[in-house]
Structure 1
Amino acid sequence: MVRHVIALDVGGTGMKAALVGDDGALLHRARRATGRERGSEAVIEGILAFAAELRAYGVEHHGGPAAAAGIAVPGIVDEARGTAVYSANLGWKDVPLRALLTDRLGMPVALGHDVRTGGLAEGRIGAGRGADRFLFVPLGTGIAGAIGIDGRVEAGADGFAGEIGHIRVRPQGAACPCGQYGCLERYASASAVSAAWAAACGNPEADAADCAEAVASGDPNAVRVWQEAVDALADGLVTALTLLNPRTMIIGGGLAEAGEVLFQPLRDAVRQRVTFQKLPTIVPAALGDSAGCLGAGLLARDLLTTTAPTTPEVST
């Protein structure tokens, strides 16, 4: 029997999962659609069913059930109570997800915020390794942030820390599902850039990756759309910089896959906005879209030890 844990990362559009061995090796990977178009109750049942499939796979292929499970979900998450408090993108409120999974799986379960969990992985084994203070900001369906301080990720009271995506960067701007107007994620998330570029180029199938390619080729409409997103992102990051003073800002998610098409103008925009603040190092995330899943595995493994968690070697 290979001792392993279940790692599950729930996103706005898809779920990524793995079975992770004691040595950090990924023994099995799987993906499913989140299915948010079917409503919040269906999403919850989909999560429980997917986790049960992973448990069954471990029994069949690795000699027994997992020792623990870790799950990362978006929105507001109260890790201490094991509750998914709120998600604008998935439409749920006050879901006792840890208890539901514990009942379904029959094993210890750790619940974490998807971005804080990804930040945990980036901090221990990724781009933030060795940094005393960092901010991890993935640009995906939405935007949130993980605040890393001395080897831990700050959750805040009741799990509300790090919601940088709901900083109002354009106060008279677009309505946000959270109830405010002009939130950062309405301008600089991958989904926001996809929508803006689809409208600008007249192709409803176009997405943020297509916009990045058009920017690289010099398309002026793409450059305009991209720069608007970069400017909004820089405004949000400088607000976070002023409040938190991170030494390193780690940018991940779909937009970060554009490489220097994103990072060069972003570094320039942040530099232009900084006055008294100390300019941080802005770097791409090292773990890609595996960060949340790897972090969920770390949460699960931390349940199995009563000592300080160690840094594993992870095979990606």
Structure 2
Amino acid sequence: MAGIDVGGTRVKSVLADSQGSVLLSHTASTPERPGEAVVDLVVATVADLLERASAEGVEGRLGAVGVVVPGLVDESTGSAAWSANLGWRDLPLRQRLRDRLDVPVAVGHDVRAGLLAEFHLGAAQGVPDALFVPLGTGIASALLAGGRVVAGSEWTGEIGHVVVEPDGPVCGCGRHGCLEAVASAASLGRAWRGLGRDGDAETLSRAVVDGDPDAVRLWHGAVDALVRVIAPVCAAAGTRVLLVGGGLAESGAVLLDPLRERLVHSLGHDRVTVTRAALGDRAGALGATLLAMEATA
């Protein structure tokens, strides 16, 4: 089984056996706004995985491919409906990949697949009610309710495009002040550089630790925006665990501590655990292999 996670900056892929055990993995850069060329990108990634497997003496044939992408995804039809950051619209991804690869193909949303992996393999094991929010190039979410990943429509989980600052920065979707334009790792890096500073969100997080007032203002503004969107979801769904992933989660307690404090204050109780996702940037690709396994069941 091949699992491929096409992200805003990197393509993460894994090859697993029929039991789900990872045989090898690989990471490459995502071409800028690949658009419909994502089909060629996935096909090339699969070929690269198989070539690497052969070189390492891994035997067997490819049984299925799971591909997960950001943006709006219709998992029932396998269509990648829209991605603000990667530049496609109404792309029949599953059908085109089936035609090229000649194996069963599953197409899913990257964040929902990540939560599926965290539920089976990571920090959400044994937790039937969880919310997963990766903070990377963009922001989306996935909800686990009663042990099932919620996928009500293609817009499910798109919290990154909730407007939190009507006069805020322009988002990739064209609107102003979306959560993604205020609190993602990419947007925080841009805001930091907009102050004439060098670096990215990681640099910003270190400046927060050092007490830099500009850094603290940007960082806590982002945390406040996150809580305004996340708290109502947790309250409505009865969430017990908030899993934070993506590049911004690498800052650890610098992010998680104020996020936990402000979430508890907003909810009025402390029955939601805030923790870092366990699988890191492998979550989407691992979830994609689980989808591939389901496609052959």
Relative to the length of structure 2, the TM-score reads 0.93
SS of 1:291's equivalent in the other structure is helix
**For residue 66 of structure 2, what is the aligned residue in structure 1?**
70
Q: Whole-Å Cα distance in 2 between the matches of residues 265 and 278 of structure 1?
A: 13
Structure 1 position 176 matched with structure 2 position 171: yes
Q: C-alpha displacement at 1:279, in angstroms?
A: 4.4
- Residue of structure 2 equivalent to 1:10: 6
Asked if the contact 2:66–2:291 (Cα under 8 Å) also holds between the matched residues in 1, the reply is: yes
Verify: 1:125 aligned to 2:121, yes or no: yes
Match of 2:195 in 1: 200
Q: What CA deviation, in whole Å up to 9, does each residue of 1:288-314 have, x standing for no partner?
A: 111001101111112232xxxxxxxxx
For 1:210, the equivalent position in structure 2 comes to 203
Aligned partners of 1:211, 1:278: CA distance in 2, in Å? 28
Is 1:256 the counterpart of 2:252? The answer is: no
Aligned to 2:22: 26
AA at the equivalent of 2:134? P
Q: Which residue does the alignment assign to 2:92?
A: 96
Which residue number corresponds to residue 222 of structure 1?
215
Identical counterparts, % of pairs: 46
Match of 2:130 among 120, 128, 134: 134
Q: Which residue of 2 aligns with 1:300?
A: 292
The question of 1:286 aligning with 2:278 is answered yes
Number of residue pairs the alignment of both structures matches: 296
Gaps in structure 1 of 5+ consecutive residues:
306-316
**4+ aligned runs moved over 6 Å, structure 1:** none
Counterparts in 2 of 1:38-77, with a 5 A limit? 39-58=34-53, 61-77=57-73
Instruction: Quote how far apart the aligned CAs of 1:98 are.
Output: 0.9
Q: Distance in 2 between matches of 1:215 and 1:73?
A: 32
Judging changes above 3 Å, is the alpha-carbon distance between structure 1 residues 22 and 41 closer, same or farther for their aligned structure 2 residues? closer
Contact conserved, 2:124 with 2:130, CA < 8 A, in 1?
Answer: yes
1:310 aligned partner: none
Asked if the contact 2:39–2:97 (Cα under 8 Å) also holds between the matched residues in 1, the reply is no
SS state of the match for residue 195, structure 2? helix
Instruction: Give RMSD over aligned pairs.
Output: 1.8
Can you list the C-alpha shifts for 1:197-232, whole angstroms capped at 9, x where unaligned? 1222432xx101111111112222211111111111
Q: Distance in 1 between matches of 2:16 and 2:106?
A: 15
263-272 or 22-31: bigger deviation: 22-31
- One-letter identity of the residue aligned with 1:282: V
* CA-CA distance at 1:155 after TM superposition: 1.2
SS of aligned partner of 1:62: coil
Distance 1:251 1:102 in 2: 33
- Could you tell me which runs of 5 or more consecutive residues in structure 2 were left unpaired when the two chains were aligned: none
Q: Deviations over 1:242-266 (max 9, x none)?
A: 3323111111111111010101111
TM-score by length of 1: 0.88
Distance 1:304 1:59, change over 3 A: farther
Query: What letter matches 2:41 in structure 1?
Result: G
Cα displacement string for residues 46-84 of structure 1 (whole angstroms, at most 9, x for unaligned residues): 222222332444456422321111111010001110110
The residue type paired with residue 260 of structure 1 is: A
SS of the residue corresponding to residue 235 of structure 2 reads helix
Amino acid in structure 2 at the alignment position of 1:151: G
Give the aligned residue type for 2:192.
W
Q: Give the whole-Å Cα distance in 1 for the aligned partners of 2:164 and 2:233.
A: 12
2:36–2:91 contact (8 Å) kept in structure 1: no
SS in 2 for 1:251: strand
The AA in structure 2 aligned to 1:230 is V
Q: Is the 8 A contact 1:208 1:255 kept in 2?
A: yes
Aligned to 1:182, what secondary structure does the other structure show? coil
Letter in 2 for 1:118: G
Answer yes or no: is the 8 Å Cα contact 2:264–2:270 preserved in 1: no
2:168 is aligned with what amino acid? G
